[in-house]
Structure 1
Amino acid sequence: MNKPLGVLAGIVITVGVLNTAGAWYTGTKLEGELQKSLEQANVELAQQLQGTTTRATIELASFERHLYTSTAHYRVDIQDDTDMGKQPMVFLFEDHIEHGPLPWSRIKTLKWMPVMATSNYSLVKTPFTEKWFAAAKDQSPLKGQVTIGYNRSVDGDLTLLPLEAKLDENANFVFSGLTMNAQSDADGQNVKGKGYMDHLEFVSTTPGKPRARIELNGLTLASDLNKSAFGFYLGQNVLELSEAQLTFGERQSVAKVKNFEYAGSASAKGDLMSGRLSYSVGDFTLDDKPVGSAQIIMTASSLDIPAMQSLLAFYQSKAQTQADGTTTFAPLTQAEQTQMQVDVKKMLEAKPQLALEKFTIKTANGQSDFNVSANLASPTTFEQPPVELTQQVLTSLDAKLVLSKPMIADLSTVQAQLAGQTNPQVIEQTANAYSEMAGVMAVQTGLAKVEGNNILASLNYAAGQVDFNGQKMSLEDFITLMETRFGNGPDRL
């Protein structure tokens, strides 16, 4: 053997020996690490499901260790509190684990960074999941791979296979599949994920009822979250849907939404949290006729996290789920009422700010906008007359409405079409009548005024004084005015 080949052989043998030693060491530690991970996962599940009626647990059902690989079986139990008399949903997973530091699945894809293990998991066929398997042509419909680093970081992929199934004699379901990727650092402090689904379709053909069809196309999900000191995640979540389509009714009308987007973000500074939610619809059509677009943006800031968590825990302790699925609340004791007031006062001491920054509806002939913001503060005491309490809690409020009469006419046209009206002249006359009626009612009630094609209303409150559509008055006078106009004034009690 010449010298270069001897050196190469020595390197290969050395790497093989080190990988064998590493695999043996990893294998001896793996079961303990899995148990720790599952314990942590169960804690996380309990925290993230807090406030819902769903409970879920994961357990290691069995573990078989070998030199280079191990096999684990997991059991996932999901129980809804509204179905406490029923058996929980049970899912079984099989996991083929390749020991580090150099799992073969990584070597063959030229990933040479040493890792603790690579997990290859899949859903197991059981009587509970056999229909799901049948819809996936007898393949495991859910599978994935997770790589665990020596620093306890995680990089994983999940795949839901395409499905086509007849749910019952009246319903069909078609699903293109979904792929997701997620990364997490040690102990799940930072989590990033993204996913994509191409197509989903559900068709219902119940006898005696019009055929209904729902179709979703181009769904994208993305998250970038950091675990806060309070045990829950903050960060950004985004959902984008290229198109959604609903076919319904005797006339088989087709409502179509394009470019729907949801974006949510939350952050914290000390004990205070801020958040923003936005929803937008790029285009809405009915039977291929344009209807319009819409956008909603909501924000909140200076929310006291410990106080909110205390109120949430209090709510959960008093909520009782009944057999029919309804929720009732146990009566409050005097001590509980006092504690609730303490938490509410603590929240208000942070001076939270709440706003509907934007609510816009735009149609072919008009656009309407509404926004409102409020600043809150803590009262000296809750034991005071309502007006004085309101003056102390609500430090300021600002609201503005621009309601387009042509937009009202456009939406009235859509409503007439849905009602089955087909005469264009009747539709136009009805739409114009609704538009003009809205303006007349606004003026007659004194709640708004009309300028050109717009119905306008504004409300500004600060320091006990109200400016309502340019008319200034005290808070007491404004309350009296509203009671009178809505039929609850002193003369009608």
Structure 2
Amino acid sequence: MKKTGIAAVVLLVAGAAVTAGAWYTGTQLETLLPEKIAEANQELARQLPGSEVQLSLTSLERGVFSSVARYQLDLGELAHEWPASELVLVEHIEHGPLPLSRLSTLRLLPVLSHSQTRLEETALTAPWFRQAEGGEPLRIQTTLGYDLEASVRLEVAPLRFADGETHLSFSGFQGEFEGSAEQVTGSGHFDRLELSTLGEQPTRVGLQGLQVVFDRHKGPSGLFLGEQSVTLERLDVHWPGLEPLVLTELAQRDRLSQTDDLLAADLTLELAGLSYAEQPLGALRMDWSARDLNAGAIVALADLIASYAETLESDPEHEGFSHAQEQHLKAALESLLDSRPSLSLDSLSLKTANAESRLSLQLGLSKPAMGEALPPEVLIQQLVSRLNLQLDLPKVSIRDLVGYQALFDASLDPQAVAMEADMLAEMAGDMAVGMELATLQGDTLQTRLDYADGQVTLNGQTRPLEEFLAMLGLLAGGGVAIE
């Protein structure tokens, strides 16, 4: 056979294989799409308990090499003030194994499908189309592998909106995500979002540099473990009657991990800079952690809370847990305390203009004896296995915080406020030392508290828990009865 004949045979065989694969892919979509929509509605019901939000497949026009699917997202009561409640999405689906658009970019890995989704212009979305200045306000590209792992690229077009006294400017959003039943990863960002109102009392809120990054995988307990971060470069607030407020480098980072049947969680909240009227005020950071959390108990508590939220949505007059819910709650709490979990504020730091204050708190828990009600001091002794608190509060921090009131109230005399700040800082220090709640190290108030085995050590002095509770009661002015 001549080479040209061999080539023709190869092309025919390849073409037949691709056609057969594309036809098979099309038949798979007819069963796959309804399943995925059902899963999406289950997730919507979980995230929005009692809501009427519903996703549906309104049509599927199947061809050999491609199909067109139309979806409708009914927002229900969420859109009661809008001209309509339905969002319509149109998805053009290229069948695998080798979609033409992927071949044209030399991506040769076989996939189940590759699709382009757009938002259809309706009474609800017409203003969005106008704001996008004739472009597509929303574009979604999705590649679905034969292992049902999806890669998604999401683009929200830049928007400009002006309606009377309200102005909105948005730079657009871009995000890339990958997900399967076992893992979800992704990142997204936008450069700028600004909302302002005109009139007698103009306002403006501006956000710059928002970034979201997450990497989660399903753990043995069914919870999604891993990390997530949300950062914002800058937040500007201009409010009537106030000077400009600026927050810089805001961040939230969290991590959840599991070893055997125990969870560990970490959370960091950070504000790198805060200024008012162009004057720096300080910064704030909090680091939280939890260890030895029973995974099954956490799942049970989450399910119980979701179930109770659904009950409240359907019956707002409902009060309290049912007997069955109370039993589930009791069992979950017992399992949680059985693992002797610990909760910690590892660090809370507050920077003012001239000083930095720090606080840390570690709390260890254990399961108390179940049965009849226990006196407060006995319950604390059994529930709290250990407690450690450390506080360092410079008097300068107190002066700074009190002195800031002159910034927020222009009618105040700055010198008078400064004198008041000095006086209050000294008074606070004298009271804390006099009540034995703190010691004075140089110009810094320090508190050190340790509790374990029924004994409390406060700033070097040890006393039984009952005596310590009585002392706190006297300081509070109400007293504590110890039987």
Q: What TM-score do the two structures reach when normalised by structure 2?
A: 0.91
- The answer as to whether partners of 1:53 and 1:80 remain within 8 angstroms in 2 is no
Rounded Cα–Cα distance in structure 1 between residues aligned with 2:223 and 2:87:
26
The Cα shift of 1:382 comes to 4.5
- Structure-2 residue corresponding to 1:250: 241
Pairwise CA distance, 1:441: 3.4
Matches within 5 A, 1:57-456: 57-79=54-76, 89-166=85-162, 168-185=163-180, 188-205=181-198, 207=200, 210-251=201-242, 253-319=243-309, 321=312, 330-332=319-321, 336-383=325-372, 384-421=374-411, 423-456=413-446
Deviation at 1:85, TM superposition (A): 12
Aligned counterpart, 2:466: 476
- Residues 201-250 of structure 1, C-alpha deviation per residue, up to 9 Å, x if partnerless? 1113364xx32211111111111011234443221111111111111232
Distance 1:328 1:343, change over 3 A: farther
Provide closer, same or farther for how the CA distance between residues 474 and 205 of structure 1 changes in structure 2, counting only shifts above 3 A: farther
- Residue identity in the other structure for 1:141: P
- Comparing 198-207 with 391-400, greater Cα deviation is found at 198-207
Out of 196-205 and 84-93, give the one that drifted further.
Answer: 84-93
Measured against aligned partners, the alpha-carbon deviations of 1:292-318 in whole angstroms (never above 9, x if no partner) come to 221101111122232233334434444
1:488 aligns with 2:475: no
Equivalent-residue separation in structure 1 for 2:199 and 2:222 (angstroms): 46
2:98 and 2:109 in contact (8 A); partners too: yes
- 1:35 aligned to 2:34? yes
Per-residue deviation, 1:7: 5.9
Shift of the 7–344 alpha-carbon distance from structure 1 to 2, 3 Å rule, reads same
Gapped regions of structure 1 (runs ≥ 5): none
Letter in 1 for 2:291: S
Compute the displacement of 1:41 (Å): 2.7
**SS across alignment from 1:91:** strand
Q: Tell me how far 1:268 sits from its aligned partner.
A: 1.9
* Secondary structure of 1:137's aligned partner: coil
The letter of the residue matching 2:36 is S
CA deviations 1:355-399 (Å, max 9, x no partner) are: 010100112311000010111011122522221121111010001
Secondary structure in 2 matching 1:25: helix
What's the secondary structure of 1:432's corresponding residue?
A: helix
Between stretches 95-104 and 311-320, larger displacement belongs to 311-320
The one-letter code matched in structure 2 to 1:177 is G
Q: After TM superposition, give the deviation of residue 488 of structure 1 in Å.
A: 0.9
- Paired with 2:404 and 2:73, the residues of 1 have a C-alpha distance of 47
- 1:341/1:24 Cα in 2 relative to 1: closer, same or farther (>3 Å)? closer
Residue range with higher mean Cα deviation, 15-24 or 476-485: 15-24
Query: Does structure 1 conserve the Cα–Cα contact (< 8 Å) formed by 2:346 and 2:360?
Result: yes
Give yes or no for contact 1:80–1:88 (8 Å, CA) kept in 2: no
CA change 1:480–1:71 in 2 (3 A) is same
Provide the C-alpha distance between the structure 1 equivalents of 2:42 and 2:219, rounded to a whole number of angstroms.
15
Matched residue count: 479
| SS of match in other structure, 2:168 | strand
Q: Map Cα deviations across residues 382-422 of structure 1 (whole Å, 9 max, x no partner).
A: 52222112111101000111112212222333332012257
**CA distances 1:311-332 after superposition (whole Å, capped 9, x unpaired):** 3443444455479xx9765245
Task: Give the conservation status (yes or no) of the 8 Å contact 2:90–2:118.
Answer: yes
Give 1:338 shift: 4.5
Offset, 1:458: 2.0
Q: Is contact 1:125-1:140 (8 Å) kept? A: no
For 1:76, what is the secondary structure of its paired residue?
A: strand
Mapped partners of 1:35, 1:437: distance in 2: 69
Q: Distance between the aligned counterparts of 2:102 and 2:268, measured in 1?
A: 40
1:438-479 per-residue CA deviation (whole Å, 9 max, x = no partner) reads 323323444323322212112210000001222211111111
Any conservation in 2 of the 1:243–1:258 contact (CA below 8 Å)? yes
Q: Distance in 1 between matches of 2:436 and 2:298?
A: 38
Q: What is the rounded CA distance, in whole Å, between the counterparts of 1:332 and 1:86 in structure 2?
A: 36
Give the aligned partner of residue 22 of structure 2.
Answer: 23
Q: 2:82, 2:124 within 8 Å by CA — same for their partners in 1?
A: no
Please list the CA deviations of residues 147-201 of structure 1 after superposition, one character each: whole Å capped at 9, or x if unmatched. 01112111110111111112x433211111101111123xx21111110111001
Mapped contact 2:45–2:51 kept (Cα < 8 A) = no
Q: Residues 124 and 140 of structure 1 are in contact (CA less than 8 Å); yes or no, is this contact kept in structure 2?
A: no
- What are structure 2's unaligned runs of at least 5 residues? none
Which is further off, 357-366 or 198-207? 198-207
How far apart are 1:27 and its partner, in Å? 1.6
* 1:382–1:389 Cα contact (<8 Å) kept: no
Letter in structure 2 aligned against 1:223: F
Segment of structure 1 superposing worse, 396-405 or 263-272: 263-272
- Which is further off, 196-205 or 226-235? 226-235
CA distance in 2, matches of 1:102, 1:410: 66
Choose 307-316 or 390-399, whichever is displaced more: 307-316
CA distance in 2, matches of 1:85, 1:141: 22
Secondary structure class of the residue paired with 1:101: coil
